[in-house]
Amino acid sequence: MDFENLIISIKKTHDILLSQTVKAVNYNLTIRNWIIGLFIVEFEQNGSDRAKYGEKLLNKLAESISIKGLSETNLKNSRQFYQTYPQIGQLLTDQLPLIENTLGAISQLSTDKSNIAKYNTAYMNDLISNISFTHFVELLKIEDSLKRQFYEKLILKTQLSVKELKRQIVSLSYERLGFSLDKNIAYDQLKSKITPQLAKDAIKSHYFFDFLGIKKPDLIEESELENSLINHLQDFILELGNGFCFEARQKRILIGDEYFFVDLVFYHRILKCHVIIELKVDSFSHSHVSQLITYLNYYKSKIMESGDNPPVGILLVTDKNNALVEYATANEKDRIFVSKYKLILPSEEELKKFIEEEINL
């Protein structure tokens, strides 16, 4: 072994073991919080002096134990964590014999039996081994168990950060994909979105750019919208989905003796193709399609390299006439996609409407 290899070996060992240490710490914190939740629930149901503390129990408990990271809010989260994921107890009896007697109380506590049936031991072990408690805190805010499981799997498959998880929840990723229909169908759709095989899998029918904070969407100009998206590029890419890599804005191309400017250009690392995005601040028009076809043909002829797949285009509009879109893109369905976007999140009624549209696509 020479000096350079010595350095590489030390660094590699450090990185691997540090990663394992962090993972172990996260795992143990998650287990600790679940057990604390169990203690609290058991006390609230069977404690000999529980009536003495009532609603002030968690506040009094936080003051008395004085452990960093176990504030009243954290204790509340721990209690909810136990109540939401009682199945974790199946893992702990063998792993933590020191608290075996305490875990025996699980059978005496009321649990959601239908919820328990949705998880197996291997899956629960995968969850607590790979998801931090900070992620679980966000998941606990989701009441619908199928919706919560969708985001669990999304974290496991894509290693979402907590910030990205919040964004996915707020931007209604679950609702837009119509995941309330069937769990197996939902998971198949989820996998296609995470690792798309076709362009249609990677492109959403609706996009939400609420992260831009635009209060008067009807007054925005295309250049202003484009600038705002670039200024919030991380959020924009997150909203687009997995695999999008930003390449250029207002990309200048020369066709004959005339210059044209492509709004936004991305490269999709999974589909291995360029994705050209044209932004419009009005409803769909068939003239938009001819413009996008021109850019796609240019990229296919002049930019596409060996190993690349043909480029695809996304036309972002505020509204669309589905029949007109159908006729205008009849021969281009595999490479041109027309999607609607909103600058503010929809109302509950609007949300229900487009969930129905998504389900019936």
CATH number given to 198-352: 3.40.1350.10
- What percent of the residues of the chain are helix, what percent strand, and what percent coil, each to the nearest 5? 60, 15, 25
Per-residue pLDDT, 251: 94
Q: Check: CB of residue 200 under 8 Å from CB of residue 272.
A: no
One-letter amino acid for residue 104 of the chain: G
One-letter amino acid for residue 216 of the chain: K
One-letter amino acid for residue 102 of the chain: T
Give residue limits of the domains in the chain: 3-136, 142-194, 198-352
Question: How many CB atoms lie under 10 A from the CB of residue 275?
Answer: 24
Contacts of 94 (CB under 8 A, 6+ apart): none
pLDDT in tens, the chain (361 residues): 554 665 576 577 667 666 666 667 788 888 888 888 888 888 888 877 777 777 788 888 888 888 887 888 999 999 999 999 988 887 776 555 545 455 444 444 434 444 444 567 788 888 888 889 999 999 999 998 878 888 888 888 777 888 888 877 877 777 766 654 555 665 566 667 667 778 888 888 888 888 888 877 777 888 889 999 999 998 888 788 888 999 999 999 999 999 999 999 999 999 999 999 999 988 999 889 999 999 999 999 999 999 999 999 999 999 888 899 999 998 888 899 999 888 877 666 666 665 566 545 4
Per-residue pLDDT, 47: 75
Per-residue pLDDT, 279: 93
Angstrom CA distances, 80 to 35, 38, 64, 114, stand at 11, 9, 20, 17
Distance CA 345, CA 352 (A): 12
- 87 DSSP 8-state letter: G
As given in the structure block, the two tokens for residue 296 are: 């796609």
Q: Please say whether the dihedral angle defined by the alpha carbons of residues 77, 83, 88 and 94, taken in this order, is positive or negative.
A: positive
Question: How many CB atoms lie under 10 A from the CB of residue 271?
Answer: 22
Distance CA 132, CA 121 (A): 18
